[in-house]
Structure 1
Amino acid sequence: MRVVIAGGHGKIAKLLERDLAGRGDTPVGLIRNPDHAAALRAAGAEPVVCDLEHTDADTLARHLADADAVVFAAGAGPGSGADRKDTVDRGAAVLLADAAVRAGVRRYLLVSSMGVDDPPAPDTDDVWAAYLRAKKAAEDDVTGRDLDVTVLRPGRLTDDEPGDRITLARHVPAGAISRADVARVLLALLETPGTAGHTVELAAGDTPVADAVDALTR
């Protein structure tokens, strides 16, 4: 399986790349900074330099040639302002969907966030509010395409070791989840085409990853 990952140098992306490469798949990481290429190779991924804020759908589609799936795991990151929350967390996700349609890649996994269904509270930090709005706008756009989309909404992310026990459903109580577990859930979703069309929230829990993902198709 050839999987193209937007935000290929991110923490979740590199964990997913290692997991994919470890089982013989071909992860391809889209990166903005060519200095990150060595880190992707170390993770077992093929690096492709492509700045999603400064490219077009036709150019991006060429990087998706022969892919079996795409994963949007990009984000503007800490310290970025409200404008980049829109251009990356929304705009780049939409661009990837445009390119996937052009390239004929149907499977699309979108990493979003818990909390996007409700409007930000009046006292919410402006940048965080912009982030939540951007993620929800990305979900609305991408899920409206003729693509096989699964939206994954993790809770608060940690760098803890994977617990391999999760709670995964349309709505789950707010909680934390390790990035390693998010990567493992993404891999399980890629392996389970029947999860297309689902939008699910994710937190640490008591159910093994494989069982939790399989339950979505029943």
Structure 2
Amino acid sequence: MADLFLIGITGGVGRLLARRLRARGDTVRGLVRRDDQRAELAAQGMDTRVGDLSTMTVDELAAAFRGADAIVFSAGSNGGSREVTKAVDGDGVAKAIAAARLAGVERFALVSVLPESWRERDLGEEVEYYFAVKKEADIALSRSGLNWLILRPSLLVDGPGTGVVSLGPAEFHGRISRDDVAATLAELLHEPRIGRQILELDEGSTPIEDAVRANVR
């Protein structure tokens, strides 16, 4: 069992991940923006702090992190306005890294994005900016000195997971359910032999537990 702090606990992947971690017996904490979200998660046995990542200080975030075994950052702007992208995907990750160091939390998992996503389309300036900021965040975490993990899923879709994936240092860009991303991340967080690695994730034919074990090095 582990104590895990989720930034993005109310998001598409984060909510599913929180439920899976709770089912495994983990302590799940997180950051929410509203009191009603805090009450909803408290009813599910999860302790959250109300705060805005874009305005919280590093010290405030570190205070929330203390005691955690790992930080999971799955929040994201999904290619929205530049201001939100910079505040969440850029400055938010940088702030969380600094707070993790201050709180003495070594393990830090970041849900990123496959660099090839939607390359066949005219994405527009804001989405291109989103990809650039996500890459900068990946680089910042990889140079942080923490025991980091970067997971890059392909196009996220809703619906039930299949329980089988393709996971490795380089994968094709297809699509994958948020449920399978959450299941894979839950398994990765409980595999201490995987660290300081970038792993890409796509739909596939390998059971998630086997796919994770295959990436132990």
CA RMSD of aligned residues (A): 1.9
Q: In structure 2, what is the Cα distance between the partners aligned to 1:11 and 1:88? A: 15
Map 1:134-145 to 2 at 5 A. 134-145=133-144
| Aligned position for 2:98 | 98
Gaps of 5+ in 2: none
TM-score (norm 1): 0.93
1:12 equivalenced with 2:13 (yes/no)? yes
Aligned length: 216
Q: Structure 1 44/175 Cα, relative in aligned 2: closer, same or farther at 3 Å?
A: farther
| Aligned position for 1:23 | 24
Percent identity over the alignment? 35
| Aligned position for 2:73 | 72
| Aligned position for 2:35 | 34
Q: In structure 2, what is the Cα distance between the partners aligned to 1:86 and 1:37? A: 25
Amino acid at match of 1:91: D
Amino acid at match of 1:209: I
Gaps of 5+ in 1: none
TM-score (norm 2): 0.93
1:53 equivalenced with 2:54 (yes/no)? yes
Spell out, residue by residue over 1:35-80, the C-alpha distance to the aligned partner (whole angstroms, 9 max, x if none).
32233234442121121100111110000111000000111247x3
Q: Structure 1 137/211 Cα, relative in aligned 2: closer, same or farther at 3 Å?
A: same
What secondary structure is seen at the aligned counterpart in 1 of 2:109?
A: strand
| Aligned position for 2:114 | 114
Amino acid at match of 1:109: A
Q: In structure 2, what is the Cα distance between the partners aligned to 1:169 and 1:11? A: 23
What secondary structure is seen at the aligned counterpart in 2 of 1:180?
A: helix
What secondary structure is seen at the aligned counterpart in 1 of 2:159?
A: coil
Amino acid at match of 1:29: G
Amino acid at match of 1:69: A
Q: Structure 1 19/123 Cα, relative in aligned 2: closer, same or farther at 3 Å?
A: closer
What secondary structure is seen at the aligned counterpart in 2 of 1:168?
A: strand
Q: Structure 1 71/107 Cα, relative in aligned 2: closer, same or farther at 3 Å?
A: same
Q: In structure 2, what is the Cα distance between the partners aligned to 1:54 and 1:29? A: 16
